Structure 1
């Protein structure tokens, strides 16, 4: 039996900072990046938690722990806990979120909640007490983010920039083919109609097949307007997908429809996926909703 740390114990991110500076937004963004997030954990429980995650056998390679003054006097143990983890050869980073006093006051007033340390005083009194308690923690931070000028989307984008894995997708696009006669997909963000192309259904030799078959694919793509649509539509969607990333919109659904959802929409969904999958930061997946319908 040994107390030695495993060779690759995974990464630990401690998220702390001023109340009202955006810890909840940061935690949500990290969770979207597949970090295992634990909120409001007393620092003294950091090591037991990480020992437990170690039993997961690498299933939890990145753990983010939100620690703040809600832990009351236990919070004072944060610097010692972080130092102990580093001594144990854990890959630990400390993220400190900050904002100016006037911005923090406005944020507390907007949600009509007291500062956790204001007691019988004002919001500003609570902010000043918190700054005193956090002074040493701020000095030891690996990353300091001032959120004074950020809205929640900008902060989430900043967290993605800092803590996403290199090459990880910032946006997932689902391209879904469907048949209009079965109704629009209720979760579609963008809809395109392929009924401007001739329907392979009326070609008896093609009717038994679907858009997944090469013969149907060739027939659809050789029709007038098909190639032009693919190139111009994919090009038009590039700034949309880039904008989604800037606004930290993590998921979207592009619905491609035809009459029955078996031929034209299937071909064009597959073709668009091949093109849009080249957009940096975008992961594309394809679903054919009505392909199996009779």
Structure 2
């Protein structure tokens, strides 16, 4: 299991970084007491959800629990669980400005000076900072730059995959609302009007053979495959983890089903993670 531990100065952007990891498919948990981290790891490993990527935030908000963090991290590593430690920092004046913008006290000095709280927190966190695998100063980073830095550290642009779902549907039952891309295949001859094909579906070989006997279907499938191959690295670089491609025909039974199945097979054959689904299957 891949484990990312995010920590650092309060106000430096730990929650924002956790959100980035969550968007990239990590199981994310904020403000985990360090002493509970080993149990949390075991729960993830034993879970039926097949959790293999986890990102957690450990910070000063856990109060007295936080003093155990170094020991806990050492124990985790000794038990064979590797982790990457991400430490977020920012200049004092930037942290003070962020606290004042949100009108929040520092968690270590709720009734005192923000700067005193920052100084105390820096002292407490110094050992963790020294142990970090990735030290990031967020003082001047936009949200987009923050994401780029996190992805650059993990080399996620190359490691990540995009899950592609081809979903057939019938326009007469409404458009596919959650699609990122929609293709209308009603220009392809419709087997619905052939008596012995009408009761079948796009999962049947006779329908597949009929739909793909037309040159226009073959050319369409080739062009869509090329387009999606072109788009994949660009979507990944923007942090997208799933692409839903809607394939629509009139009723969502014949043409769109056969083509969604074929496109999914093609992308899988090119070593992409692709699935197919049929929204209107219950109407067949």
- TM-score under structure 1 normalisation? 0.77
Residue 42 (structure 1) aligns with = 33
Partner deviation per Cα, 1:167-200 (whole Å, 9 max, x = no partner): 9653222211011111112222221111111111
Match of 2:86 among 92, 95, 103: 95
In 2, the alpha carbon distance for the partners of 1:288 and 1:216 equals 15
**Which stretches in structure 1 are left out of the alignment for 5+ residues?**
1-9
Cα distance 1:45–1:212, how it changes in 2: closer, same or farther (>3 A)?
A: closer
Higher helix share: 2
Does residue 219 (structure 1) correspond to residue 239 (structure 2)? The answer is no
Deviates more, 1:114-123 or 1:55-64: 55-64
Task: Note closer, same or farther for the CA distance 1:292–1:55 as it changes in structure 2 (3 Å cut).
Answer: closer
Using the alignment, how far apart are the partners of 2:270 and 2:139 within structure 1? 31
Instruction: Give the conservation status (yes or no) of the 8 Å contact 2:28–2:55.
Output: yes
Structure-2 residue corresponding to 1:78: 69
Q: Deviations over 1:10-56 (max 9, x none)?
A: 66543211223332233344455665544323334445555666776
Matching residue of 1:143: 134
Alignment RMSD, CA only? 3.5
Q: For the structure 1 residues 125 and 239, does the alpha-carbon distance in structure 2 shift closer, same or farther, using more than 3 Å as the test?
A: farther
Query: Which deviates further from its counterpart, 84-93 or 133-142?
Result: 84-93
Counterpart-to-counterpart distance in 1, 2:199 and 2:123: 74
**CA 1:245 to 1:114, structure 2 compared with 1: closer, same or farther past 3 Å?**
farther
Matches within 5 A, 1:60-209: 64-117=55-108, 119-120=110-111, 123-148=114-139, 150-152=141-143, 155-156=146-147, 159=150, 169-209=160-200
User: How many residues end up aligned between the 2 structures?
Assistant: 283
Q: Spell out, residue by residue over 1:220-249, the C-alpha distance to the aligned partner (whole angstroms, 9 max, x if none).
A: 223242222222233233343333212212
Partners in 2 of 1:109 and 1:274 — Cα distance? 54
The alpha-carbon distance between structure 1 residues 284 and 23, as it changes in their structure 2 partners (threshold 3 A), is: same
Deviates more, 1:31-40 or 1:230-239: 31-40
1:290 is matched with which residue: 275, 280, 283?
280
Deviation at 1:70, TM superposition (A): 0.6
